[in-house]
Amino acid sequence: MEPPGRRLLDGRKALVTGADSGIGQAIAYHLAAHGAAVAITHLGGPGTADRMAREIRDGGGEALTVPLDVTDEEQVRRAFARAADVFGGLDLLVNNAGLERPFRLVDMELEWWRKVLDVNLTGTFLCSREAARIMLDREARGAIVNITSVHETIPWKQYSHYCASKGGQRLFARTIAHELAPHGIRVVSVAPGAIATPINEEVLADPERRGAVEAQIPWGRWGEAAEIARVVTFLASEQAEYIVGSTVYVDGGMTLYPRFE
């Protein structure tokens, strides 16, 4: 835990989707370190999520684990109801769960198009809707932070389904931000660039492929999950109260690279 005077989220009640690995795991830990009670959701077995919750509680924080398939409307309803019941409300959602797999357009099966859109875009809709319902019902000021991608604006060959989902997230977030801001609920997005997480292990282990990615990053290196988590924590806090509907790119300048202008 951060010292009391440095905590940005004391008293906040958060739910993080896809929280038991990669960027989501870093976000869950960082929110907890800054004083938020955190619902750690998991899609597979609860082992990692349970360990994370124990570590947070052992450090003086508050956490629970919740199974959640973000594409299942009933599971979403149950997960949010449990978090709100245990924490006495909910005022922070981080939509982090995501899915990707490369296909050339001509080879992409409808199943995979639907699967990626269901997780990345429909899941964001279902979770945002449930969080907003709880916040509005309890007249709670809060925040919804969507983890999108630089590919909400940069095309990516063989990932047309992923780019479509991230572009959709961007305009969805901006639209609901306009709708919810008058009620004291902010919606913002964080767009990571190339981040060193387990999903990128194969690329990171190949010097040629790793170097090709780094050549597209003006800052010259891959990002770390903790760097995304720090931005999410700031955006969720009162320090960022006047940031509404924006996307913050955490990408080492990748979106500035000449080929993407």
Q: Which residues are catalytic?
A: 162
CA neighbor of 179 nearest in space, from 118, 249, 239, 125: 125
| Three-state SS at 11 | coil
Element (H, E) at 166: helix 160-180
| Cβ density class 157-170: b for 16+ within 10 Å, e for less | eebbbbbbbbbbbb
Tokens standing for 242? 């006047």
Place of tokens 């690995």: 21
Angle at CA 119, nearest 5°, toward 134 and 129? 20
Task: Answer for the pair 192, 149: CB distance below 8 angstroms, yes or no.
Answer: yes
| Three-state SS at 184 | coil
Tokens standing for 189? 């997005």
Sign of CA dihedral 250, 66, 143, 70: positive
Q: How many of the other CB atoms lie within 10 Å of CB of 219? A: 13
CA dihedral defined by 91, 95, 97, 101, rounded to 10 degrees? Answer: 180
